[in-house]
Amino acid sequence: MKLSQSLNIGIMNSYRFLISLFLIYFSVSTCKPSTLENGCDPSSKSFYSLVLIKSLSNERSASCVPFFERSLPNFISYGVFSAGSPTEVLTAAIAKGKFYIGGLFDQIAATTGGGAFVWSDSGTPVASTYCPQLDVFNDTTSSFGTINQAVLDPEGNLYILGNFTHIQSYPRQNLAKINSRCQLDLEFDAKLNPSSTIFYDLLYLDGRIFISGDFQTSNGAITNVPTTTFREHIASVNAKTGLIDSWNPNVTGTDVRCMTTDGTYIYIGGGFTAVNANGAGNLGKLHKDNGSTFYAMVDTNGTVNAVEIKDGILYIGGVFSALNGSTVTRSKLAAIDLSTNSVTSAFSSLTIAGNAVFDIAIYNNTLFVAGEISTPRLGIFKIDLLGTVQSNNYAIDGIFQNVYKLSLVGDQLFAFGSFETVCTLDRKYFFQLDIPTDQITSFDPKLMNANYEFNGVAIKMKDNVIFLGGGFGAVDTRSQSYFAELDLQTGQPTNWNPQPNDLISNILIAENRIYLHGQFSLIDSTVRQSTAAFDLDTKALLAWNPIFPAVSIESMIYHQDSIYVGGSFTTVNSISVNRIAKHDLNESGFDPNFITTPNNTVRSLQIWNEELFAAGQFTSIPDAAIHLAKLNRSTGGFLGTHSDTFSSNFSAYTSFVSDNRLILSGQYETVSPIPGFGLSFYQLPNLTSISTNGTFASTSEFVRSIDQSETRIYLGGLITTVGGNARNGIFSLNRQTLTINSWDPKLESGSAIRKIIFHENAVYAFGNIVNANKRYRSGIVKMEAESGFLY
């Protein structure tokens, strides 16, 4: 039986938790007298039975029975970025519960997509089975999806609306329901049709979800399930199934941008000219059950972006300057008495300069007003409900000073937009205000990208979890260049940052040390010429410092107290050394007795049976050896090569030894004895060719990195097909037979893997990766070794 990815990973991560609870239960129950059956008595068996049931079901309601929080670590995929865009990991290694990456990045962040669950105290992403991330993804752009609005129902289910096509790898178009365990509700599926529609707002009311946007008949059917159905800017679906219902107001114009309700009527704002065939100027009133009746409303002469109700007064914000047939002037903000359908005197003396008010939020008798505005304050200001501007100035600043969306969670105001500082504090694109103290809090999710116009919402999902939605794509953004250390279990970066001033292109871990090579000249505030080594426990910079030309090392391996280095270099420590060198672990010098002379770059080194195998771009070493040679590991002397005939030769990129067989891959064509492209298998020790079930389609495809488990060999590189099977960037062979299997993590077309590592039943892939199985990723992917499911 094939389990879903999320369920599969959740079961694996929860296994120890379940075992622990059962052991507690049975150890206690076997010691308790059978007469004790009071469910609220900690000394009774019934009490421990209820504890077990409550914890297994994740039921958190208040009672005399406690809840053991599921805080088991859950992997979050952090990615690498440069100036806010995904970039590439060039090299990686694993040791002591950490993985180390080097590449072309200056930022790292958790690739959640435009919706993230974060801890309410710190703003950091939840890395726990208690609440897995949604991986909001947009297949149309092959990038992260965005969230415009979200709402909870009375049962704690979360409904999200935005621009996305997948949630937790499952297809969902623009609207999805997330249950209280933070998993996609598979029963709810509105089956909205793909389109360029913008969905602006949603609300929950009496078992239904109301959505608004710019969808209309001229843009096609909103859904074809259960029948082809058209709607005009507003629609209603069943909150359990997601299927559209018969509620069908006719709103003519550009869009419906906002909604609010008093429990019976739904008040809408936007850019529209008629409701149910009656003239209406950007404001409307609809009955929740009978959408076809027309109710007269005050009109405005410009778009309405936000609506809120308090004590029978409808507060609206937008781009208008007049209401009620232009008989009443107001500057982008107005209040309407719903009992008389008349504009009140509030805000009559207020002037708001700027493009538009985009959102408003009411807290007690205070109104927060946000938008592209310059006066009375930049981006956001406070005003009482009668129209007196408060003195508070939040000093929004940055390249832009725009606040677009506001959410209230208890006494906290959550603000989203395009800005960089608030009250001189570094707060990119988001801040939280504690309203009673009027102070910007320390809560900072560190969003990757700005939120624009209608992106942004905050919802209290659980007691200690906040859902944030917007246009950010990733959270917990950290400035870190070229090198990072991350936790294997959670994926989260550690605080170690040796701050190389340029690229890290190769990493080797040996004897509790990490050896680095690249293009840097300064690391850990110390001058180094492209190489450095650190103690993994103390993080102390070591004396090891051979001088290689920048980015000239392609391969570093460790064997019996020696480091073997291959690459394009022709000098080490300013002494002539030709493309392969043997180094001591501690000393910066090289072994002068190890001598070999490949005539071109060495890209891969392997040790087998005390012999050194070199692969690369060379054709002699110095004996004739096209791309592959066997050498004496002590002296570098030539021992042999293969007997294959190659044409269209360019280079071999990687080699790997598995069960007395050597795998070779690169950009070459084998003419004989086994024709094919870029993938060869040899029996050791004599390097005779082994026939397999297929190679690549052309010399443009090749493998860069290989690793293996007990049953499989994992290969990653620049790949689209292997043996006639479609595979993007990565594939797996059965270790015994060398035949391709069904393992496929479904990376996006064009993915290129630089490094692949098997470790503790997981496969880690690093390279140029922007999504995997419809989940937003950037440079790093962790997969289950048997199924290929993503963590």
User: Which tokens go with 472?
Assistant: 């950010």
d(CA 589, CA 583): 6
Proportion of the chain above pLDDT 70, given as a percent: 91
Sequence-distant (6+) residues with CB within 8 A of 47 are 38, 39, 40, 41, 65
Residue labelled with tokens 């996609």: 184
Rounded Cα distance between 251 and 245, Å, is 17
CATH number at residue 389: 2.130.10.10
pLDDT digits (tens, 9 = 90+) for 734-761: 999 999 999 999 999 999 999 999 999 9
Asked whether residue 30 is assigned to any structural domain, the reply reads yes
b/e burial code for range 489-504 (CB count within 10 A of at least 16 → b):
bebbbeeebbebebbb
CA gap 188, 500 in Å, rounded: 49
pLDDT band at 47 (very low <50, low <70, confident <90, very high): low
DSSP 790: B
Beta-carbon contacts of 277 under 8 Å, excluding residues fewer than 6 positions away, are 250, 252, 294
Final residue before a domain boundary, out of 471, 506, 524 = 471
* DSSP secondary structure, 137-188, as one string: EETTTTEE-EEEEEEE-TTS-EEEEEE-SEETTEE--SEEEE-TTSSB-SS-
How large is the average pLDDT for residues 167-189?
Answer: 96
Mean pLDDT of the chain: 91
What band does 59 get if pLDDT is binned at 50, 70 and 90? very low
Which residue range(s) make up the domain with 28?
5-56
Q: Say if residues 549 and 571 touch (Cβ distance below 8 Å).
A: yes
Both tokens of residue 462? 């659980």
* Partners of 147 in beta bridges: 162
- 756 exposed, middle or buried (CB, 10 Å; 0-12, 13-18, 19+)? buried
Task: Tell me how many degrees the CA angle 63-64-68 measures, rounded to the nearest 5.
Answer: 80
Which residues have a Cβ under 8 Å from the Cβ of 454 and sit 6 or more positions away? 148, 149, 198, 200, 257, 358, 404, 405
Averaged pLDDT for residues 11-35: 44
Place 8 in a pLDDT band, splitting at 50, 70 and 90.
very low
* pLDDT-based confidence at residue 586 (cuts at 50, 70, 90): confident
List pLDDT tens digits, range 525-548.
999 999 999 999 999 999 999 999
Task: Give the separation between CA 634 and CA 2, rounded to whole angstroms.
Answer: 50
**Separation of alpha carbons 362 and 381, rounded Å:** 12
- Asked whether residue 273 is assigned to any structural domain, the reply reads yes
Cβ atoms of 229 and 244 closer than 8 Å: yes
Single out the residue of 330, 327, 283, 281 nearest to residue 301, CA to CA: 281
Q: Is the peptide bond before 376 cis (omega within 30 degrees of 0)?
A: yes
How far is it, in rounded angstroms, from Cα 477 to Cα 334? 38
> Does residue 388 lie in a domain region?
yes
Residue 49, domain member (yes or no): yes
Measure the N-to-C terminal CA separation of the chain; round to a whole number of Å. 19
| Model confidence pLDDT, tens digit, residues 118-140 | 999 999 999 888 899 999 999 99
> What digits encode the pLDDT tens for the residues 684-723?
999 999 988 789 999 999 999 999 999 999 999 999 999 9
In a domain, 743, yes or no: no
pTM for the structure as a whole: 0.89
Residue 673 maps to a domain: no
Amino acid letter at 266? I
The predicted pLDDT at position 103 comes to 96
In a domain, 151, yes or no: no
Q: What is the mean pLDDT of residues 666-679?
A: 95
- What pLDDT score does 45 carry? 54
Pairing of strands 513-518, 475-479: unpaired
Final residue in a domain of this structure, among 56, 74, 94: 56
Please state, as a whole number, how many other Cβ atoms lie within 10 Å of the Cβ of residue 382. Answer: 22
Give Dmax (Cα) for the chain: 98
Calpha distance 102→108 (Å, rounded): 12
Torsion sign, CA atoms 740, 746, 748, 751: negative
Candidates 678, 711, 709; CA nearest to 692 is 678
For residue range 193-249, list pLDDT tens digits in order.
Answer: 999 999 999 999 999 999 999 999 999 999 999 999 999 999 999 999 999 999 999
Nearest to 349 by CA among 313, 302, 384, 378: 384
Are 47 and 195 within one domain? no
Residue 46's pLDDT is 56
Residue 18: its H or E element: helix 5-29
Of 451, 471, 491, which one is at a domain's C-terminal end?
471
Of residues 582 and 463, which shows the higher confidence score? 582
Give Cα 248 distance to the centre of its chain: 37
| Cα 365 from Cα 386, distance rounded (Å) | 9
The DSSP result for 391-438, as a single string, is S-----BSS--EEEEEEEETTEEEEEEE-SEETTEE-SSEEEEETTTT
Of 191, 185, 140, residue with least CA distance to 167: 185
Q: How many domains does the chain have?
A: 2
Cis peptide before 685 (omega within 30 of 0): yes
- The confidence score (pLDDT) of residue 57 equals 43
Residue 463 lies in a domain: yes
Cα–Cα distance for residue pair 399/19, rounded to 1 Å: 53
- Output the CA torsion 784→785→788→791 (10° steps): 20
